[in-house]
Structure 1
Amino acid sequence: MKNSLLPYRQIENSSSMKVEIWSDVMCPFCYIGKRKFENALAEFPQKDKIQVEWKSFQLNPEMKTEPGKGINEYLAETKGWTPEYAQQVNDHVTNMAAEVGLEYNMDKAVLANSFDAHRFLQFAKTKGLGDQAEEQLFKAYFTDGKNTADHETLVELGAAIGLDSAELKTVLEGTRFSEDVRKDVYEAQQVGARGVPFFVLDRKYAVSGAQPSEAFLGALEQSFGEWEKANPALLVALGDGASCTPDGQCE
């Protein structure tokens, strides 16, 4: 009988490597970090084997939602800055955002407690829409000047990514996903996150802050190389051939 080579497929012991990202919607560097990470991921050859999960983190859990107060006034009150210096800082951050293609309108930003926005994220994650929800929240806060604590606004953001409006409204009116938010905050402490954005790759490597895309790419390469060694692919021939089974039957 003439031997022939059979095509084969790969069966992964674990289908993808997880990257967890802790962030807060009111953190300007989190949106910038998101873009820089995405740029790195786009260059990563094995990007299809990377699973990204967004995690909740609150920079100021006690913050009151105050639509009438400007961000410069808030920074002056909380950090002891002059309004002029606060404006300089925001201008600098706006320029940083522009470098990665983001439009920041800090003068339109609405001061808002982010807890319900995080519950919105947690709900979206159950529908496989975590990344889309995070993008909507950032854009709403930094570009569009929307109140991300307002339930109607969150329902609109949800509808834009395909979430069921009635279900989301019910979630927001109750307390669902509150524990999920608190769990993420607790986990952040356990993995050493003292600020955001905070990226954890395969629960082995961490990247803190909105690092250059090159730094993210290097972290992806190193962590994925180790993950791949620990999760070798099994090659399975497609087709039938002579074989024996545990019960002693050979054909």
Structure 2
Amino acid sequence: MVHGCPWCYIGKARFTKGLADFAHRDQVEVVFRSFELDPAGAKGVTAPVVEMLAKKYGRTLDEARGMEEHVATTARAEGLEYRTDGRDHGNTFDIHRLLHLAAARGRQEELLDLAFRANFAEERSVFDPEVLIALAVEAGLDEAEARAVLADDSAYAGEVRADEREAAELGANSVPFFVFDRRYGVSGGQPAEVFTRALEQAWAGREIEELVAAAEACEPDGACAVPQV
């Protein structure tokens, strides 16, 4: 999952709904893995999302705002809050490292949801270390331990890189990307029923096609593919 990718935010909500409709949901273990949209981005350097979209797609700022409005409309249809102004884009490596600490303490999904909410729905920048610390504490992590991880650039760095290598081996070149039983892949922010069907087919041991053509997703260069407006 990637915190700067709105389709991960939307895709997680849709997957959760799809999982709720799966008969064997209580026997499903969900694990979240790291994937950076902008791994080459300098730590601590941010830029407005609208400006990034305009530059990436060669659009005007008004057109880029329209792209954001499209995503916002989709998110809100899933019951998610989404603000289109004031969001930043930047390097997410520290967020991923902190999520690995949360995983080790059994609080990964709690921190993931809080980070998504802060980034997409609230006036809090997840690129601010103090915001990250506050989110970690809110998720149930120890403040001193969270601060120690952020202060040590090597802490959980290997775990993040291992996730990224695994993603490459699995053929994930955009996010969200869902792997079922380490055999089947579903790419993009698919509708909830697609995830339910994928779970059912994976449970039954049948092959499923990787769904990519109609999926809306975020790309490794930091941009998120959305219909033109």
- TM above 0.5, yes or no, is yes
Q: In the alignment, is the contact (CA less than 8 A) between 1:55 and 1:184 conserved in 2?
A: yes
Amino acid in the other structure paired with 2:185: A
Equivalent pairs: percent with the same residue?
Answer: 39
**Structure 1 residue 102 corresponds to structure 2 residue 73:** no
Q: What is the CA–CA distance in structure 2 between the aligned matches of 1:30 and 1:207, rounded to whole Å?
A: 13
2:161 aligned partner: 182
CA contact (8 A) 2:2 2:37 kept: yes
The one-letter code sitting in structure 2 at the alignment partner of 1:86 is: A
Any conservation in 1 of the 2:14–2:78 contact (CA below 8 Å)? Answer: yes
Q: Give the structure-2-normalised TM-score.
A: 0.85
Q: Is the 8 A contact 1:40 1:216 kept in 2?
A: yes
Partner of 1:126: 104
2: distance between equivalents of 1:180 and 1:81? 37
Displacement of 1:131 = 1.2
* Cα distance in structure 1, aligned partners of 2:52 and 2:170: 30
Structure with the larger strand share = 1
Return the letter of the residue paired with 1:155. I
What is the CA-CA distance between 1:37 and the residue it aligns to?
0.3
1:206 partner SS: strand
Work out which of the two has the higher radius of gyration on C-alpha atoms and give 1 or 2: 1
- State how 1:64-213 maps to structure 2 within 5 Å: 64=42, 65-66=44-45, 69-174=47-152, 175-213=154-192
Question: Which amino acid letter does the alignment assign opposite residue 205 of structure 1?
Answer: Y
Once the 2 structures are TM-superposed, how far is the Cα of residue 133 of structure 1 from its aligned partner?
A: 1.5
What is the aligned counterpart of 1:220 among 199, 205, 213? 199
CA offset digits 1:148-171 (Å, max 9, x no partner): 122211110011111001111001
Select which of 6, 25, 46 maps to 1:47.
25
Q: Unmatched 5+ residue regions in structure 2?
A: 207-229
**What one-letter code is carried by the residue in structure 2 that aligns with 1:120?**
L
Q: Distance in 2 between matches of 1:145 and 1:77?
A: 24
Shift of 1:66: 4.3
State the shift of 1:44 in Å.
Answer: 1.2
TM-score normalised to structure 1 length: 0.78
Q: Distance in 1 between matches of 2:33 and 2:168?
A: 12
Q: Within 2, Cα distance between the matches of 1:77 and 1:132?
A: 34
Larger CA deviation: 149-158 vs 25-34: 149-158
Equivalenced residues, count? 204
Deviations along 1:50-70, one digit per CA (max 9) or x if unpaired, are 000000001111234445x42
CA contact (8 A) 2:178 2:186 kept: yes
Aligned mates of 1:189, 1:145 — CA distance in 2: 33
Query: Which residue type is aligned with residue 62 of structure 2?
Result: E
Residue 223 of structure 1 and its aligned partner are, at CA, apart by 0.8
5+ unaligned residues in a row in structure 1: which ranges?
Answer: 1-22, 228-251
Contact residue 155 and residue 168 of structure 1 kept, 8 A: yes
Q: Take 1:206 and 1:129, find their aligned partners in 2: how far apart are those partners? A: 25
- Counterpart of 2:11, as a letter, is G
8 A contact 1:200–1:207 mirrored in 2 = yes
User: What is the distance in 1 between the residues matched to 2:180 and 2:31?
Assistant: 10
Letter in 2 for 1:31: Y
Q: Alpha carbon RMSD of aligned pairs, Å?
A: 1.4
- Distance, in Å, in 1 between the alignment partners of 2:14 and 2:194 is 9
In the TM superposition, residue 212 of structure 1 has moved relative to its aligned partner by 0.6
Q: Residue in 2 aligned with 1:27?
A: 5
